[in-house]
Each structure stands twice: as structure tokens, then as C-alpha cells.
């Protein structure tokens, strides 16, 4: 059996998940229609900054933190009726994470093309 590369996994995920532009993500955020979820590691946030109005759930904890019945669920922060918009540094991890959320049963899921790198070059406020 051949072992798939991370690039292959991301390419496969991109075929099945919804990808949106930073501008589309900002529009959803401004219209209060999404949960904007930053799945980068804490060190990345410290080194590069954070996106205003985003929630931080590290990729390694996403499945545990997002399930509504999990003891780790961030119920007070996330609205399950809104679209889950994920982003990472460049778009690879968020594509994989979006695929996982779809597999969990979340229907309104997307990820930001280009991730934080593209978002900081758009109209998002970075702190």
C-alpha cells in the first residue's frame, strides 16, 4: 500500500470542501453569518498576529472542541447554526480540517483560500 503525502491529502480534500476567498469570509463575518475559526498553533498566533473576531481552536483539538456535546466544546463562543469558516497559515490544514468537519456531520463548512497569509493582505483587522 502506498502512503499518501500531505499534498495528496490536501488535494483530495480540496475536491470535496467549500473554498472561499478572504473577501467572502469577511463578508460572512461582517454579516454575522459565520464562526471564523483560526486553527493555527498558539506560537503562530504569537508570531504572526490574530484576526479580529476569530476564535482560536488549534487543529489538534478541533474535533474535540467543536462537537456540541464535548466537555471541551466552546458553546458560548460558537453558534452551530452559522457557517464554520476555518483558516490556517496558508490553506492546507484548514482544507483537511474542513473535510473532517464535513465527515463529522457539519453541513455549513468552508475554509479560506490562502489562509492567514491572504487574509492579512485583505481588509481583515489583524492584531
Q: Divide the 127 residues of the chain into consecutive groups of 10 and give the mean pLDDT of each group.
A: 91 93 97 97 96 94 87 77 96 96 95 97 94
Report which of 121, 120, 119, 123 is spatially closest to residue 22, judged by C-alpha positions. Answer: 119
Alpha carbon distances (Å) from 127 to 7, 15, 52: 30, 32, 7
Residue 124's pLDDT is what?
96
Report which of 127, 93, 119, 121 is spatially closest to residue 17, judged by C-alpha positions. Answer: 93
Q: 19-119 has which fold?
A: Oxidized Rhodanese; domain 1 (3.40.250)
> Can you say whether residue 92 is alpha, beta or left, with left for phi > 0 and alpha for psi between -120 and 50 degrees?
alpha
Residue 75's pLDDT is what?
65
pTM > 0.85: yes
Task: Sketch the domain layout of the chain as residue ranges.
Answer: 19-119
Amino acid at each position: 500500500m502506498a502512503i499518501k503525502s500531505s499534498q495528496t491529502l490536501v488535494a483530495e480534500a480540496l475536491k470535496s470542501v467549500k473554498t472561499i476567498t478572504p473577501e467572502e469570509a469577511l463578508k460572512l463575518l461582517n454579516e454575522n453569518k459565520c464562526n471564523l475559526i483560526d486553527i493555527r498553533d498558539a506560537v503562530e498566533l504569537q508570531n504572526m498576529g490574530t484576526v479580529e473576531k476569530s476564535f482560536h481552536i488549534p487543529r489538534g483539538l478541533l474535533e474535540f472542541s467543536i462537537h456540541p456535546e464535548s466537555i471541551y466544546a466552546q458553546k458560548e463562543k460558537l453558534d452551530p447554526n452559522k457557517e464554520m469558516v476555518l483558516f490556517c497559515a496558508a490553506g492546507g490544514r484548514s482544507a483537511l480540517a474542513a473535510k473532517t468537519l464535513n465527515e463529522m456531520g457539519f453541513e455549513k463548512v468552508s475554509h479560506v483560500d490562502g489562509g492567514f497569509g491572504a487574509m492579512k493582505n485583505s481588509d481583515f483587522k489583524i492584531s
